[in-house]
Amino acid sequence: MSGHQTKACYVCGNHQGNRLRYPREMMFGTEEKFEYLECDYCACLQITDTPTDLGRYYAGDYYSYKVPKEKNYPPWLLKLRKKRTRALLGERDAVGSLMARLSKHRAEHFDWLSRAGVRLDSAILDVGCGSGSLLRQMQRDGFSDLLGVDPFLEHDTDYGYGLKILKRRIGDLDRRFDFIMLNHSFEHMPDPRQVLLELRTILSNSGTLLLRVPVADSYARRKYGIHWVAWDAPRHLFLHTVRSMHLLAQQTGFDVIDVTYDSSRLQFYGSELYLRGIPFKNQKPYAPGKGPKAFTQQEWDCFAQLASELNIYRDGDTACFFLSPIPTPTGLYSA
Ligand SMILES: [Zn+2]
């Protein structure tokens, strides 16, 4: 195959030896086939024709838009949570440190927030926030300047106390942020280079951009091929690799300063079930204890153990890319 002229890669422009792949829609199980190009140079997977009616593939029960249950927390508990947050962000707080040690499970977002140098009063933007459940959790953790944007929301919501969720595009924003995060939204965007250029203009020069995405150069992608659960055709338009993310960053005025892996057992159970033709929406009965078809607890634990080992070996199927802006006095990288 290698050597012949093929359609060019969106990221690196390579047009030699690129291959075509045909995964199916498996979240809802329509099994509709989509064409993706796999770049021979940067290995990024990309849909060759973005469906014009993408909204059709985000049905009302699409998981990001489910409004989570509201809980009411008493003020004394919120004060203690704020102390815990300080400690988890690396600030000195004796009570908070004790609380952090006593907490049964550490919320994973603190792993990235502390890595990104975020503080309680940082201006934080969540792009593609869905219903905003993470931001609402962060509000309860004591963060005071939180904005979420998502063009697919039905309406704006002002939760008060420093949290707003707006139906907006990135280009509509006219203020700067210390920390911008895209939690599994970047791979849904049809023009990621333009997105990075726009983000570059609203991120402060000392700020951090976090892109949490599925990665195509991973064990699960190699093992399961087109049945890899995180491929998620046609919603995931780009499945990046470490190389393609570095290239995109270079083209848009960013440095990739760190990559950490945060894959979960989903890469195994979801892909195993896709191999058997079972769509994501029908996968609930396969959790241990849910009935005769379920995985055993031993298999379930093994999936999680394998995921954490792959993360250590930098081969898990999801990763956190931390980007910092390269200062440009002339505004060279303006969108
Ligand atoms: Zn490429």
First-to-last alpha carbon distance for the chain, in angstroms, is 37
CB-based neighbours (< 5 A) of ligand 1, an ion: 9, 11-12, 14, 39, 41-42
How far, in Å, CA of 44 to CA of 59, rounded? 27
Is the predicted pLDDT of residue 94 greater than 50, yes or no? yes
For residue 57, give every residue at least 6 positions away whose Cβ sits within 8 Å of its Cβ, in sequence order, or none: 25, 28, 51, 234, 235
Amino acid, res. 71: K
Quote the ligand 1 centre to 185 CA distance (angstroms).
20
Domain ranges across the chain: 64-189
**CA distance linking residue 298 with residue 302, whole number of Å:** 6
Residue 118 in contact with residue 203, Cβ under 8 Å? Answer: no
User: Which tokens is 297 given?
Assistant: 């607890």
User: Distance, CA 218 to ligand 1 centroid (Å)?
Assistant: 16
Query: What's the CA-to-centroid distance between 263 and ligand 1, angstroms?
Result: 23
What is the Rg, in whole angstroms, of the alpha carbon atoms belonging to the chain? 21
Tell me how far the alpha carbon of residue 4 lies from the centroid of ligand 1, in angstroms: 15
Q: What is the DSSP string of 250-262?
A: HHHTEEEEEEEE-
Dihedral angle sign, alpha carbons of residues 88, 106, 82, 116? positive
Query: How far does residue 151's CA lie from ligand 1's centre (Å)?
Result: 28
Name which residue leads in pLDDT, 204 or 78.
204
pLDDT score of 102: 83
The reported pLDDT for the residue numbered 1 is: 44
Q: Is the pTM of this model over 0.95?
A: no
- Quick: pLDDT tens for 280-314: 999 999 999 998 889 999 999 999 999 999 999 99
pLDDT single digits (tens) 228-272? 999 999 999 999 999 999 999 999 999 999 999 999 999 999 999
The pLDDT tens digits of the residues spanning 9-23 come to 999 999 999 999 999
Q: Ligand 1 centre and the CA of 325: distance in Å? A: 22
On whether the CB atoms of residues 179 and 122 are closer than 8 A, the answer is yes
69 pLDDT more than 70? no
What sections of the chain are H helices per DSSP? 75-88, 94-102, 109-115, 133-140, 192-202, 219-224, 242-252, 266-275, 297-312
Residue 329, judged by CB atoms within 10 A of its CB (0-12, 13-18, 19+), counts as: exposed
Quote the ligand 1 centre to 36 CA distance (angstroms): 12
Average the pLDDT over 39-55 and give the result.
Answer: 94
Instruction: Report whether pLDDT(2) > 70.
Output: no
Cβ-proximal residues to 331 (8 Å cutoff; 6+ apart), any chain: none
Q: How far is CA 109 from CA 105, 112, 135, 300, in A?
A: 12, 6, 10, 23
DSSP 296: P
* CA 238 to ligand 1 centroid distance, Å: 11
Spacing, Cα 13 to ligand 1 middle (Å): 6
Report residue 100's pLDDT band, with 50, 70 and 90 as the boundaries.
Answer: confident
- Å from CA of 319 to ligand 1 middle: 19
pLDDT one-digit tens code per residue, 153-198: 889 999 988 999 999 999 999 999 999 999 999 999 999 999 999 9
pLDDT tens, position by position, 111-164: 899 999 999 999 999 999 998 999 999 999 999 999 999 988 889 999 988 999
